[in-house]
Amino acid sequence: MLVTAKDMLDKAKAGKYAVGHFNINNLEWTKAILQTAEELRSPVILGVSEGAGKYMGGFEVVTAMVKAMDKSLGITVPVALHLDHGTYEGCYKCVKAGFSSIMFDGSHFAIDENIQKTTELVHVAHNLGLSIEAEVGAIGGEEDGVVGRGECADPAECKMIADLGVDFLAAGIGNIHGVYPANWEGLSFETLEAVNKAVGAMPLVLHGGTGIPDDMIAKAISLGVAKINVNTECQLVFRDATRAYIEAGKDQQGKGFDPRKLLAPGVEAIKAKVKEKMELFGSVGKA
């Protein structure tokens, strides 16, 4: 069931759990995530970065694949197809391609320009029945060529953006994309608490979910986080399982080179990782 991310995240914030946003890269990724969500009766958000959209042949291809797969696999849990860290132009492309949700990442603009562009895109998204995420305070690290410094959001600016009518808000709280460096200082719960107070019932989004310790995840959820983005962790377990298969020489045995066999361990590893995260986030059985 392709839906916007609004209802599932409003429910998650009220119920003190989080819905996982898992980035997709191809058919295998999409299928693994959808099947796991269905098995666990969990709502789920499929995140698509602009780079991944391009890789898959364009946003239209992604929408067609997700909609068809949702139907053919008989998925009954709520699924949102969401643009991750969208540019202004990318948001329009995804609206046109039939996504059910978009993120406009205007965090690198001055706050006035972020407000102006977010206002316009909120209007466009809501007129067409999509949900929209905005961002204040950059998420550090690098994702698909988008590099952020990782600064904590200003709660007053968060309130300004929230008041524009966005459906959920990503606020930088010291989180970064990719693997956390050994000297990472951890999440700023002080910032999160202040932002949560400033935005009221609005669900908050935690990017850079890879490698955040379980106790910090639990605390973040208790302070208003209702959507957690995970990308790198699925890539790493896929890599490790594929490497193990090849290093064991299994691709050389019989028809072990068949892509359906070659990619199977990686797919199973993604399923296990998504299951682990859904259990940790508390979204199991919430569909």
Q: List, by residue number, the catalytic residues.
A: 84
* 50 is a site residue for ligand 13P (CB under 6 A): no
- The residue from 84, 133, 154, 167 that contacts ligand 13P (CB under 6 A) is 84
Min dist. Cβ of residue 252 to ligand 13P (A): 32
Contact pattern from residue 120 through residue 139 relative to ligand 13P, giving x for each residue in contact according to CB under 6 A and a dash for the rest: --------------------
If the CB atoms of residues 43 and 245 are measured against ligand 13P, the closer one turns out to be: 43
Instruction: Give yes or no for residue 231 binding ligand 13P (CB under 6 A).
Output: yes
Cβ of residue 146: shortest distance to ligand 13P, in angstroms?
9
Q: Does 82 bind ligand 13P (CB under 6 A)?
A: no
Residue closer to ligand 13P by CB (options 207, 286) is 207
Angle at the Cα of 197 (from 194 to 203), degrees rounded to 5?
105
Q: Is 230 in the site for ligand 13P (CB under 6 A)?
A: yes
Find out whether 249 and 273 touch, Cβ atoms under 8 Å: no
Which CB sits closer to ligand 13P, 107 or 245? 107
The residues, ordered by sequence, that sit 6+ positions from 223 with a Cβ below 8 Å of its Cβ are 189, 192, 193, 196, 204
Q: Hey, how many other C-beta atoms are within 10 angstroms of the C-beta on 92?
A: 14
Nearby residues of 17 by Cβ (< 8 Å), 6 or more positions away: 221, 226, 281, 282, 283, 286
Q: What distance lies between CA 140 and its chain's CA centroid? A: 15
Residue 178 sits in the site that holds ligand 13P (CB under 6 A): yes
Q: Which of residues 244-283 bind ligand 13P (CB under 6 A)?
A: none
Beta carbons of 5 and 132 less than 8 angstroms apart:
no
Write down the least CB distance from residue 262 to ligand 13P, Å: 24
Please choose, out of 24-32, 183-191, 202-210, 267-275, the segment that lies near ligand 13P by the rule CB under 6 A. 202-210
Applying CB under 6 A, the span of 5-13, 61-69, 230-238, 253-261 interacting with ligand 13P comes to 230-238
Q: Is 107 in the site for ligand 13P (CB under 6 A)?
A: no
**Of positions 86, 150, 208, 266, contacts ligand 13P by CB under 6 A:** 208
CA distance 126 to 259: 41
Q: Pick one of 20, 140, 174, 209: the residue that binds ligand 13P (CB under 6 A).
A: 209
Q: Determine the interface stretch with ligand 13P among 28-36, 110-118, 205-213, 271-279 (rule: CB under 6 A).
A: 205-213
Among 23, 63, 107, 114, binds ligand 13P (CB under 6 A): 23
Kindly indicate which of the ranges 121-129, 204-212, 264-272, 279-287 contains the residues binding ligand 13P, using the contact rule CB under 6 A: 204-212
